Each structure stands twice: as structure tokens, then as C-alpha cells.
Amino acid sequence: MKMNNNYDVIIIGAGSVGVPVALFLAENDFDVLVIEKKASPGQGQNKKAIGGIRATHSDKAKISISQESIEVFSTWQEKFGDDIEWETNGYSFPAYTVEHEKMLKELLEIQQNFGLNITWVSKEEYLEIAPGISSDGLRGSTYSPEDGSASPYLSLNAFYFKSKEYGADYVFDEQVISIKKQSNFLVESDKKSYEAPIVINAAGNNARKIGKMVDLDIPVQPDSHEGGITDGVQRFFYPMIVDLRAGPGSKNYYFYQKENGQIVFCITPEPPIEGTDSRATSVFLPQVSKRMIDLYPRLKNLKVRRTWRGQYPATPDGFPILGETRSKGFILGVGMCGQGFMLGPGVGKLLTRLLTNKLSVDDKENLDSLSLYRNFGGEEKFK
Amino acid sequence: MNRIKNHPILEETQAAKVPFYWNDKKMFAKKGEMLASALIANGIKIFGHHAKDDSPQGIFCANGQCAQCTVIANGRPIKSCMTPVEKNMMVEPCEGLPELPNIDVKPEFKEISEIETEVLIIGAGPAGLSAGLELAKNDTSIIIADDKMDIGGKLVLQTHKFFGSTKDCYAGTRGINIAKKLVADIADFSSVKIWNNSVVLYIFSDKKVGILRDGEYCLVKPKIVLNAAGAREKMLPFPGNTLPGVYGAGAFQTLVNRDLVKSSEKVFIIGGGNVGLIAGYHALQANMKVVGLAEALEKCGGYKVHHDKLVRFGVPIYTSHTVISASGEEHLESVTIAEVNKDFQPIGGTEKTIKCDTLLIAVGLDPIKEFEQEAAKAGMAYFSTGDAKEIAEASSAMFDGKVTGIKVAKKLGKTEKEIPAEWSEKAEILKSPPGKTYSHYSEIQKEEGVFPVFHCLEEIPCNPCISVCPFNSIKINSDSILGLPSFEGKCIACGKCLTVCPGLAITLVDFRKGDEKPVVSIPFEFPKYKVEKGDKVTVVDIDGIQLKKVKVVKVQEREKQTKIIQVKATKDIAKKIAGIQIQDPKVCKPLAETLLPKISDDTIVCRCERVTAKEIRDWIKKGVTDMNQLKQLTRAGMGACGAKTCENIILRMYKEEGYDLDDITRNTRRPLFIEVPLGDFAEDKSKKE
């Protein structure tokens, strides 16, 4: 720790975004401090993520950020030795309705135009990819074999320890209570105060609260999702399976089988449940079990080991909010809408280029489209 | 077959034989029996091998909490300790990750039923049933949910007679019979629903409690949650601690006293509290050898009468000793113990290796708190009682259950009754740990007539002997039931005090037929050791020291389950005789060669995910103080049991590394308390097949 508490950059939040941002800034010789209110890194929503990582989004900015993330995840072990359980197990969106088939095929064209490896597989082909999945009404599926998965907490811990090697400082169990703009930002926690010319808001669920400290209204509203993990069994399928259909009280749900045989799953409630209550509800397990077994009858004998509830820090249009603000030096890495883990390293790289004045033309376009000052009227088709 | 025949207390049930197959070999179970017990009864103790390191897996908790007894039954991976054997079930070991059977047909789905009740009592043991009885008397609608098939909690495993007060908690009655009485009393009330085979899976934030009842998932909406779930056994870290054959005293009692499975030939016990001492006695009753008991303290913490019983029968008790390691290829073959110094560190050169096939860990209990913690998080009213509130004897749990039942009734406005002030004093007495130990008997000088001798030198809450004497000749020389008994007045040698004493610590000395060789009557509960008139038996004093070989003059079947053996002995030893030795000291002798401990870094701390002490210690040394982060880095606590076994051990490791436990962030608790198949939450089982 530095004695005078003066830093180049202060990052608020040691989660999916804050830690990789600290990593790449520290790697580029910035003096970085990360302030986290919990006891260790990744104890907010990062550990609630199920670990899926894909580039197959519907818009250019998220696609390019994710491609950069995948580069980081997929080469990490080779570069640094830590096993973060990265695997290119692919993503699939099986279609069981005409509308979904049409929507997915339209999107597929856009995605292919961005150079993504995504194809349409027939019903028969898909039944080989996911043996035993319900063939009732199955019309085929998208399949993007280069998407993948990694362990959110092993990745985040690897980024954390590496960032400390590069010189990043962290304080835990400290909550930011005010930010004052003088010549620099004066960031006060419930224990100490710190100073830096640049502050990065990576506060996840608390992004809006932190924004208010510098008079910014950041439209991030957390909504809750519940997820779970099963016992390990021999592997019988690889890709993430996303069922886009709606059910009673829910929209889509998705799951995949990890290398150790455990299946991780998560469902999107409808209507959304706003707020940050993370206690388990009695609704989740019957709801998700019924839907998963209906899709994949084989799952009925699989034991649920643990469940949890976490939040998507959501924005009105479903896209993240990144980059500079009218409060000069106050930078945003917020509103990840449940994709903070997969976008984190890409965001870290992008914000590092922003602070080192190395933005490309594409970067600038991407930041414009994700700016706080954009029109939030659009909608992400593929949340 | 490894079945217990001729148990002195338990009668073998005449259940039908059910055939099943283990690796295509035909075997037989008893109808309704759990698969794990049936396998052990058929000599199968290794149920598979772990996916991570191929280590052998066998029974551990016998309680559905872990998954170490997983086998493949009819193609499905299941916990064998919780799954009843079905006719012609095809069972195989679970080698590595099990394969999930493919299923083409979608099941029928169901809506989850919701049931309202005023009070949900979790656990139908001594505390839960006693509380339920008070609530029922106050016209309260209650559901008592218990995860076992048999109601009564740990009472159904207790073949010994209970201590405590005759009036308040059935002292002098065997635990198994107390359970029957409590169930009979409560069954009269229509407002009571007793749910057996009902596992509480979680208490959700919407104030609903998820229960898997006979495999059907439902939600219960109580006004008040009463946690009477009892306690969980602590585990010890040492090399070899996960070998099949190493488990808790509770699991052992389940196999032996519930299912009458002869799980072992030679048992060694770690821990000299009441749980360990009683388990030793249960093992002897089941005709197993108890080759030793080690206790780290200078003195066993359990009741002296329990301790004395074991010593008299010939069980060596190693005080100031701890376990160094357990050894064996696929199953436990021996244990190595060593003497410890004042700081509980093993003293080099004092190691002994003792052959055994079962190592029981009985080093204390932790209250099961998760139910009330989740009820609190959900904002529900809750109470706790029995061991779930405070670890004590079952007699105390029953009394506390009664008091708590009234408290809950008051909270619901069902009664105005005040709880008598003297009850709390009584509760304190029943909770009392053993008090003062006297070194000398209150000497009876006379050498004429007939009188009882009390081999009872330690103050404990117990009084059946005074209540059973037809002439009120036995008194406790104290205001409370903690005092020692003494005799004054008339005795007709009826023997009632002998058979009622839970400690089997009373003998009768009868000078009426001769002054030189009086007849000594000794209570005895071991039918396997046939003792008949004319036999010579070795009698021992209170400390198990051999006195002499003496002749049996009569064997009386005074009570169905307790015999009285009468021997003739010279008057110099007659009053000292406290029991008959039944176990040959040779079986307990340490091996000539000591197996020295492996490096403790190898010790498995998290048995579900096979995480070693070294993996954990390395991160602790790097400064990881959040147990959540530690779990993420090592997977310790991510397994089937949900850190129920390793959390204490990890906290101990933090202490060893010099941390103040206040600086350690604890694991977050999450649903479910016990793993269950996804299908249980969705499938309508009535429409199966």
C-alpha cells in the first residue's frame, strides 16, 4: 500500500469488471487502487455467474468486447499457468417455434457478417450435439463452437493475484461513502480517504448509488435471477443450451455441463424481480426443474447440490454503459446486464486503451454506442 | 451374513427377505432396509471410488448429508443410506462420475402443494416430540417433520437406560422405549401430523419451507418454526481419515442399533465423552470387540459409570492420547495413536498401532443451526430446543422441549400458563456436566444380611434407583438429583435397583447364607457371553482391575433384557466386585510394529471434493481470510455435504496459522441443505409408469 493514498486511478468494486480493469491498468504501469466493500474479490455478482462466455451477441460493440475477452480467457493458462477451466464447449440456441427459428436465423446472418463462427444445425444434427434433448417440435439450432466457458471465481482470482503482481492495491471491507471533485477526486470510504485524478465506477449493483456521488444519474437497476448447480455425472453434452421460450413466470433459461460433470443452470424470471434481495425463493426450483426436465427428461435423476440468487445490473436497453462522463475523469464500467464476467476482460482492455489514449476508430465507435449519453430506446435481442 | 443375532436388548425383526444384485451377484436384504445397510450386512464396505483421486468410498454419515455412500441402483446414482432396497434392484459401485441414464419420455408434471400449519417442528427426537406434546395439549396445529423412517430421533438408537430424573424425563427407561412412549402420547392428538421420511430442504425467503416428504416435494407455511434438529458430529483431520471404516458414532449406532448390521469385528473409538463411551458399550452388546478408546484429555468427559462399564468389560482406555493416523489399502486396517503432552501435541516414541476395522470418531457435537438461521433471514418467528439449542443429554432435551413447547404456545396466544420458576433450576440440573468424583465408597461396614453396593462415585443428574426401591431404603444425600445414592434400612434382595441403574453400577452383597463367602449379584446384559451356573468368571473392581476367578452359583432372568449373575466370593473382595470381565485383554494389544504417521499435509480436509490440508494451508498462508474465496480457490466446501464436515477443520487450521477467528469471513450458506434430484421438484410421481 502507498503511504500517501494518492493513486493514478481508483476503481470502485473488485468484481467481474473492476478486477480485470485493475489488471490491465496495472500492467500498463498505472498506480491503481481498488476499493471493495466485501471481504475478498468477486464476492458480489461474479460468483453468481454460471461461466458462459460468448462472442455471438447481436451488436458490434459487445461482439468486439467479447472477442477480446475470449482472447484473454483462452490464452490465460498458456500465458500464466493458472487453470481457469476455460473450455471451447460452444453455445446453442435450439428453436422450438417458427418465430424463434426466424429470429435466430436473421440474427445469424448479422453475426456471420461480423465474422463469427456460428451456423444453423438441423434437428438431427442437434440431437447428436445434445443427445436425449426433446425432439418434440425441435426445428434446429444455432451452434457457435468457438464460444465457451470458464470458472468465474477461478478466473477472477487469477486476474486478482496477477494484478497484485503488477502492483495494483486493494482494500477490502471498505465502503465508499462520498466522492468529492477538487483538482483530483477525493474518495472517502467508511475507513479512510484516497485521492486520484481518475475514478472508475465498476460497482455493479451499486453503480447508480456511486454515480449519484458525482451528480450523475446512471440508469442501472438490478434485477434478480436464481441459478443452481448439480452433482457431477459423466459428461453427455458440451455446449451451453439456451431455451428462448417463455414459461409460466419465466422467460428463457440456460445450462451447460462443466468438465467435472456438474451442470450449472439459471432462469430469467418474468416479470423481472427488481431489487437486490439475494435470499432464495421457493418458486425457483419447481419452476426451473419443470422446464429443464420438459426439455431434457434425462435431467430428472440429477441431484441439485446448491442454488443461489444474484442480480443482473440491468440497463433500459440491455447494453452496458461504458466510458467517459460529463464529470471529467469519472469513467464508467457498469450496467453489464448479467454479462460482467464474459465482458470484463474486454472492458478492461478497452478502458485501458481509453486511459492510454490508444483508442482505435472502432473503439471510439463502440464507446459512443455504449455511452451514458446514448438513446436508451433500443433493445438487445439476445440478453 | 453380517447380521447381529441375539442382541440383548433389540429383537431381530422378522422382515421378509428381498433379493438384490451387487455387480450381478445375488444378495438378500431385509424388506424396507436401506441399501447401505444391506450391502454392509452382505460384507460390502467399499461402495466405489472418487472421481478426483480414485480413493475408496464407503459409508460415512449414514444420514443423507454427504454423498460418500453413492452407488448406482437400477442405473441411477443414489445415496445408498437413504434408499430402501427394492426387489431385484441392480446395484453397482459408483466408480468415478456416474452416468446419467438416458430418458426419452417426458414425465407428467405436478403443481407443488402448499400446506399451512401453526408450528413446524423440525426433528422428531426427544426435544421435538416433547415440545410437540405440549403444543398439542394446547390445541395447536403442528407438523413434526423428521428425515428418518423411524420417529424418535437418536432415541431409537439408544439401547441403554437413561439417566436424569424419573419424574421429568423417563430416567431408568431405555431410549428405544422412551421413543415409543412419546410417540404413543402424541399420537392421540388430532392436531398433530407426524411426518417421517421428510427432509427439510430449505427455508425460503417467502416464508415457505421446502420439504421432501416420501419423495414428494411440498411447501409448508408455518407461523413458527421450531428447530429441534439436534446436532452434528464433529470430524477430526488425520491421515487416512476418509478410509471406509472411519466414521462417526452416530452412523455406527444407525447400522448396529437400527438395522442390526454387524458392521465391524474390531472397533476403536476416539473420544471419551458419553457418545463415545456409549458407542463402545453398544459395540460390545452387538458382539464386537472394542479394542480401545482414546481420549485427548487426562480424564474421560463422559459419565464415570459409562466409563467404568467399559473398563470392567476389558476395554483399554487411553487417556491423554490422540489419533495419529488410520491405515489400510481400501478399507481401515489399523489405527495409530500416541500420547499427547499438555498442549495436546503427540509425544514422539509413544505411538502404538492397534488393529481394527472400524474407527469411531466421537469428539463432540455441534448444534444444527441452519434452520433457525434461514428462518431468521426469512423474517419468520422461530425457536430452538434440545441439542439444536445447546448440547446436553437426551433427558435434558426432553425437559427443554417441554418448556419450549409451552413458550411457543404462549407466543401463539394458546395459553396463559406461566412456566414455573423451579423448572429452570431443574433444567439446569439436567444439563449438568458430571460433578465431583469421590475416590472412596461410602463404606458399608457391616458383614451381615443383604444390601446394595453403589459403584457410583461421580455426581451426575440421575435418580432411578431411589424411585424403584420398595422400602425407600435408597436415598440421595443432597437436595438435587446430582448427589450420590446411599442405602439405609430394609433390603429384600429384590434386585430392582440393579436392573434399573443406567450405569449397571449397583451390586447386591448377601451374607445371609454364610459370613465367609457371601453371594454377590451383578447385573449383566450380554447373552453372547454365555454365563451359566457352575462357570468360573473373572470379576473386576470399579476400575476394571481383575480380582479373582469366582464360581457362578445362579443366573436369574430378572428382566427380559437384563440378567443377574450371582457369584460366591470371599468377603475381602465381595463388596469390591463391580462387574464381570467379558473381553480377553489379548484382543486389544497393540501390534509389535508401529505404523508411523504420513505427512499431515496429505490429510484430506474436504472429503467430498478431496481437498488436502496443504492446498488449504497454502492459501491461508498467502493471506486468504474470506472462507468464500478459500472455497472458490480450492473447492473445499463445494461438495455434496456443503461444508458441514470441513468448516470446523478449516477454522482450526486458521487458528493454527495464528489467525483470530473474528477476522475470518465465514462461508455463505445456500440452499439446499440436502441434495435431491431435479425430478423431485417437478415430477408427478403418482403418474409414474
Q: Is the residue at A59 inside a domain?
A: yes
B670 in reach of chain A (CB within 8 A): yes
For testing contact with chain B, the best of A40, A224, A237, A309 (most B CBs within 10 A): A40
| Distance in Å, alpha carbon of B564 to nearest chain A alpha carbon | 53
pLDDT band at residue A270 under the 50/70/90 scheme? very high
Q: Which residue has the higher pLDDT, B493 or A345?
A: A345
ipTM score for this prediction: 0.90
A265 in the same domain as A325: no
| Distance in Å, alpha carbon of B567 to nearest chain A alpha carbon | 60
The pLDDT of residue B689 is 46
Smallest CA-to-CA distance from A289 within B112, B506, B148, B410 is with B112
| Residue A375: other Cβ atoms inside 10 A | 7
For testing contact with chain A, the best of B678, B685, B687, B688 (most A CBs within 10 A): B678
Q: What is the CATH number of the domain that holds A53?
A: 3.50.50.60
- Judged against a pLDDT cut of 80, whether residue A378 lies above it is answered with no
Nearest to A289 among B101, B106, B681 (CB): B681
Q: Is the residue at A73 inside a domain?
A: no
Contact A2, A167 (CB under 8 A): no
Cβ neighbours of residue A286 closer than 8 Å, sequence gap 6 or more: B112, B217, B681, B682
Would you state the cell numbers that stand for residue B82, as one nine-digit string?
437413504
CA-nearest residue of chain A to B682? Answer: A290
Give contacts of B202 with chain A, Cβ < 8 Å. Answer: 280, 282
- pLDDT per residue over A306-329, tens digit each? 999 999 999 999 999 999 999 999
Query: In B, residues 54-93, which contact A (CB 8 Å cutoff)?
Result: 67, 76-77
Cβ neighbours of residue B8 closer than 8 Å, sequence gap 6 or more: B159, B285, B525, B526, B527, B561, B562
- Of all helices (H) and strands (E), which one includes residue B59? none
Would you state the cell numbers that stand for residue A287, as one nine-digit string?
419452476
For testing contact with chain B, the best of A48, A231, A250, A295 (most B CBs within 10 A): A231
**What is the β-pairing status of strands A330-334 and A198-201?**
parallel
Q: Which residue has the higher pLDDT, A190 or B516?
A: A190
CA-nearest residue of chain A to B631? Answer: A153
B647-656 and B613-621 helices, crossing angle to 10°: 50
A282 with B217: Cβ contact below 8 A: no
Smallest CA-to-CA distance from A132 within A286, A260, A257, A259 is with A257
Smallest CA-to-CA distance from A232 within A190, A205, A261, A253 is with A261
Contact B629, A156 (CB under 8 A): no
A271 in the same domain as A236: yes
A293 with B682: Cβ contact below 8 A: yes
A18-27 and A152-165 helices, crossing angle to 10°: 30
| Distance in Å, alpha carbon of A61 to nearest chain B alpha carbon | 31
Contact B192, B186 (CB under 8 A): yes
User: What's the DSSP call for residue A339?
Assistant: -
**E strands present in B228-351:** 231-233, 246-248, 266-270, 289-295, 317-319, 321-327, 334-339
Domain limits for position A103:
88-146+223-313
Domain ranges of chain B: 17-98+235-361, 113-231+367-430, 450-587, 601-663
| Distance in Å, alpha carbon of A208 to nearest chain B alpha carbon | 26
Q: What is the CATH number of the domain that holds A255?
A: 3.30.9.10
Smallest CA-to-CA distance from B552 within B533, B570, B539, B529 is with B533
CA-nearest residue of chain A to B105? Answer: A297
The dihedral through the CA atoms of A45, A49, A51, A55 has a sign that is negative
B628 with A297: Cβ contact below 8 A: no
pLDDT band at residue A381 under the 50/70/90 scheme? low
Percent of all residues in chain A with a pLDDT value above 70, rounded to a whole number: 98
A294 in the same domain as A235: yes
Q: Is the residue at A83 inside a domain?
A: no
- CATH top class, domain B17-98+235-361: alpha beta
A40 with B625: Cβ contact below 8 A: yes
CA-to-CA distance for B206 and B211, rounded, in angstroms? 14
A177 in the same domain as A326: yes
- CATH top class, domain B601-663: mainly alpha
Indicate the residue among A266, A296, A313 that finishes a domain. A313
A235 in the same domain as A298: yes
Smallest CA-to-CA distance from B550 within B584, B505, B518, B510 is with B518
Distance of CA B534 to the CA centre of its chain: 38
| Distance in Å, alpha carbon of A282 to nearest chain B alpha carbon | 5
Range B350-374 burial, b when 16+ CB lie within 10 A, else e: bbbbbbbbbbbbbbbbebbbbbbeb
B150 in reach of chain A (CB within 8 A): no
B677 with A302: Cβ contact below 8 A: yes
- Of all helices (H) and strands (E), which one includes residue B34? none
Nearest to A290 among B109, B208, B676 (CB): B109
In this chain, the answer to whether the domains covering B17-98+235-361 and B113-231+367-430 adopt an identical fold is yes
A251 in the same domain as A133: yes
CA-nearest residue of chain B to A172? Answer: B626
Smallest CA-to-CA distance from A156 within A344, A339, A346 is with A344
For testing contact with chain A, the best of B66, B71, B100 (most A CBs within 10 A): B100
CA-nearest residue of chain B to A308? Answer: B670
Smallest CA-to-CA distance from A150 within A320, A308, A20, A27 is with A20
Q: Is the residue at A276 inside a domain?
A: yes
Contact A265, A255 (CB under 8 A): yes
pLDDT band at residue A243 under the 50/70/90 scheme? very high
Smallest CA-to-CA distance from A373 within A268, A187, A193, A219 is with A219
The dihedral through the CA atoms of B225, B228, B229, B233 has a sign that is positive
Please, where are the H alpha helices in B585-659? 613-621, 627-634, 647-656
B682 with A289: Cβ contact below 8 A: yes
Give pLDDT < 50 ranges for chain B.
Answer: 597-599, 689
A215 in the same domain as A243: no
Would you state the cell numbers that stand for residue B529, as one nine-digit string?
457371553
Q: What angle do CA B594, B600, B606 make, to 5 degrees?
A: 125
Please, where are the H alpha helices in B331-379? 370-377
Q: Is B464 helix (H, G, I), strand (E, B) or coil?
A: helix
A279 with B633: Cβ contact below 8 A: no
Smallest CA-to-CA distance from A107 within A131, A91, A124, A123 is with A91
- pLDDT per residue over A87-119, tens digit each? 999 999 999 999 999 999 999 999 999 999 999
A255 in the same domain as A301: yes
Q: Is the residue at A233 inside a domain?
A: yes
CA-to-CA distance for A182 and B156, rounded, in angstroms? 73
Range A3-41 burial, b when 16+ CB lie within 10 A, else e: eebebbbbbbbbbbbbbbbbbbbbbeebbbbbbbbbbbb
B113 in reach of chain A (CB within 8 A): no
Smallest CA-to-CA distance from B49 within B58, B40, B59 is with B58
Q: Is the residue at A278 inside a domain?
A: yes
Q: Is the residue at A4 inside a domain?
A: no
Nearest to A298 among B103, B202, B377 (CB): B103
Smallest CA-to-CA distance from A6 within A37, A33, A27 is with A33
pTM score, whole prediction: 0.86
A128 in the same domain as A95: yes
Q: Is the residue at A78 inside a domain?
A: no
For testing contact with chain A, the best of B632, B633, B638, B644 (most A CBs within 10 A): B632
Give contacts of B107 with chain A, Cβ < 8 Å. Answer: 293, 297, 300
CA-to-CA distance for A207 and A224, rounded, in angstroms? 16
Nearest to A306 among B98, B378, B642 (CB): B642
Give contacts of B683 with chain A, Cβ < 8 Å. Answer: 293, 300
Residue B595: is the preceding peptide bond cis (ω within 30°)? no
A294 with B106: Cβ contact below 8 A: yes
Please, where are the H alpha helices in chain A? 18-27, 60-80, 98-113, 123-129, 152-165, 207-212, 284-295, 340-355, 361-369
A141 in the same domain as A264: yes
Query: How much is the mean pLDDT over chain A?
Result: 96
A233 in the same domain as A127: yes
Please, where are the H alpha helices in B460-585? 464-468, 496-500, 571-574
- Of all helices (H) and strands (E), which one includes residue B123? none
B679 in reach of chain A (CB within 8 A): yes
| Distance in Å, alpha carbon of A135 to nearest chain B alpha carbon | 9
A232 with B51: Cβ contact below 8 A: yes
A132 with B102: Cβ contact below 8 A: yes
CA-to-CA distance for A73 and A68, rounded, in angstroms? 9
User: How many domains does chain A contain in total?
Assistant: 2
- CATH top class, domain B113-231+367-430: alpha beta
CA-to-CA distance for B426 and B501, rounded, in angstroms? 21
A236 in the same domain as A306: yes
Contact B452, B508 (CB under 8 A): yes
